[in-house]
Structure 1
Amino acid sequence: MDEKHDHRAMFSSERGHDGFVERSRRIKMAAEMGLARSSRGRHWSRALRRRLLRRKGATSGGSCGCKDDSSSSKTVEELGVGENEDDAVEVEARVHALQRLVPGGEELGVERLFEETADYIEALQGQVSAMRALACLLDELERDKRVMSG
């Protein structure tokens, strides 16, 4: 094989990789947008949609259109969670972790954060089920394709 041919094969492979990465990015964005649309009335879905639109450059920023719930909901201390200081610190750390995981969670007080977290987990479970079904379908199509060509 000559050097020129090797270069074309490498370039083609790089373009194939770029195409794969672009398709993967689009699939991820479509899955996340579907997740955001599945629970339109929830704070996390509006926050996720806002983040996705910002990623696409289609928004001018700003709020998700919902009120700030941090002042209207109780804090960890007000809930009386944890008998000692170590327990309270641990609970506070876990609440902060949830606030980072749930889209828009940083804006929520503890009670509302727990409600949004439960709803978000249910939506994620639905998304996982749909992706598993899609993966099974694609596996079957690939298997049928191999059987028909071989």
Structure 2
Amino acid sequence: DIDDQKEEIKQLFEQKKELYQTIASLEKDIAGLKKEISERDETIGEKEKRIYDLKKKNQELEKFKFVLDYKIKELKKQIEPRELEITDMKDQIKEMDHELERYHKNNANLDLTISDFKMKTNGLQAEVLQQRSATSRSMATVKRFRH
């Protein structure tokens, strides 16, 4: 009976030893898991801080965008009258180009007319010279008959 009890005590010690080993292993696992949780918490904290920083930067960019949109609208308001003025000036330039073209055509026609008149004038002057010459000869002939 004592041997049975000794055997039972030995088995109980063995079980106790196994239980302590299991407890030690579980405590080691728990420590590892706690460390992993801590690391994940730290990572989550870093990511939350990054998210916060990005949201803050996004707000700043939104404000900057609002200001720039306003400036763009103001500049467009300033540019619009100038664009209209430029369009009007372009129209005036086109009209002036057409007018200049008409003047060039008119001048070309006038040059042709002047050339035509010069030719006629030269022809008439030559005819007048011939008539004077003929008249002078006729008068000379008449004078000779009278004397």
Same fold, TM-score > 0.5, yes or no: no
Say which one has the larger Rg.
2
Higher helix proportion (structure 1 or 2): 2
Asked which structure has the greater RCO (Cα within 8 Å, sep 6+), the reply is 1
